[in-house]
Amino acid sequence: MTDEPETTKAASVPQIATTRRGFLGAGVAAGGALLGAGAARAAGPDPLITEIQPWAQGLGDGVDATPYGLPIRFEGDVVRRNVGWLTADTISSINFTPIHALDGTITPQGCAFERHHSGAIELAKEDYRLMINGLVETPLIFTYADLERFPRETRTFFLECAANTGMEWAGSQLNGAQFTHGMIHNMEYTGVPLRLLLEEAGVKPEGKWVLVEGADASSNGRSIPLEKAMDDCLVAFKANGEALRKEHGYPVRLCVPGWEGNMWIKWLRRIEVGDQPWEQREETSKYTDTLADGTSRKWTWVMDAKSVVTSPSPQMPIKHGPGPLVITGLAWSGRGAITRVDVTVDGGKSWMPARLAAPGQEMAVSRFYLDHVWDGSEMLVQSRAIDSTGYVQPTKTELRDIRGLNSIYHNNCIQTWWVKANGEAENVEIS
């Protein structure tokens, strides 16, 4: 299929050009039939235009009705969602960003997914302390106010849980982009480069690794190579211009750009410099990739290039019938910037280049669009991301050939949505 204008037939309209201008023009010529039979409206006056509606007959809310602005009630279904059977309880669990219902690239904090190992804690700024110890010249303890006095940076990063899409290794499991790919957010973080704090303490020559821990009961300790810690890690205290939310580590969390989300320690309380990794639970029995022969890959921190079509998708069916259709989605890479996204509607037989909403940024999500003309037939919709290293997002078969079926982490395979003639979509796997 191509993106070139063509002609299709629709009930009560002999022929309608399949461009947006053609559809709108033909709709007017046909006495109000807009965008083909699937979206036709009855001819005649529209009371929403010709009659004064209730919202225009009185006064609205005053400026103090909601001192902290909230989404309007009509958007009440754009929320994080949990899958109850995935975990034993909600304390050590996950929920999912409603990526299917969002546009652009920035994730609102209130929609950004949660992952806890012992629940979200309340820690006041006044009670916050960050200790740096180990192989340093001067062990230090910082208060929140201390951190605010250091030079700060503002950067946009994606955070993706290593288990994102993990249920799809063995087959199509969860029916919705929110559930297959929603363990991700993309936010603008503000904070102090970790490098500056380590330099303040003075790392000894034998220091090669850092252990980072949180203040919650799990502590969630992870080992990070000193090279990464001194490169682009950020000790963040703001997200999207405001304080971190409780569930995202208020008042301070660690950002480890491009690397798996388990390393982005929330409620960051301690950084120890050492000469070797600590081999903590979260980097041995967990967050390692078990291969087909039973061995496990370690230190697979980087999140490889990945993409997903968010609309149309199971939670975002096509409702307007044949004609102009915007196919859209997200793409990201932990190794650089997204440079290209291709989209197919025939299961990979042919590919069309999508349009990036803006040039790709390193370690940040890109939004893509494909302005397509849908003829009303079934589609197998996929997207394929390519990053600045030249890496091409693999198919599920290609990934399985290398990794087997035992892992739940780092699944960056191409996702397929079967879009039916009625516009509904379903999660499927094709060979």
Tell me what pLDDT residue 423 has: 98
Q: How far apart are CA 73 and CA 78, in angstroms?
A: 10
Tell me what pLDDT residue 294 has: 87
More confident residue, 34 or 334: 334
Q: Domains, the chain, ranges and CATH?
A: 81-298 (3.90.420.10), 306-428 (2.60.40.650)
- Dump strand ranges (E) for 215-362: 222-225, 234-239, 242-243, 253-255, 268-274, 289-290, 296-297, 306-311, 323-332, 338-344, 352-353, 355-356
Tell me what pLDDT residue 41 has: 61
Tell me what pLDDT residue 20 has: 58
Q: Is the pLDDT of residue 417 over 60?
A: yes
Terminal C-alpha separation, the chain: 20
List pLDDT tens digits, range 338-384. 999 999 999 999 999 999 999 999 999 999 999 999 999 999 999 99
Q: How far is CA 317 from CA 79, 421, 423, 424, in A?
A: 18, 11, 5, 5
Tell me what pLDDT residue 337 has: 98
For the residues of 281-292, what is the DSSP string, one character each? GGGTTSS-EE-T
Average pLDDT over the chain reads: 91
13: β partners: 10
Q: How far apart are CA 398 and CA 402, in angstroms?
A: 7
Least confident segment among 5-14, 126-135, 411-420: 5-14
Q: Two tokens at 331?
A: 């793409």
Q: Is the pLDDT of residue 21 over 80?
A: no
- Using CA atoms in the order 267, 271, 275, 281, what is the torsion angle rounded to 10 degrees? -20
Tell me what pLDDT residue 10 has: 31
Q: What is the mean pLDDT of residues 63-72?
A: 94
Q: Kindly report the pTM of this predicted structure.
A: 0.90
Least confident segment among 28-32, 99-103, 264-268, 305-309: 28-32
238: β partners: 190, 243
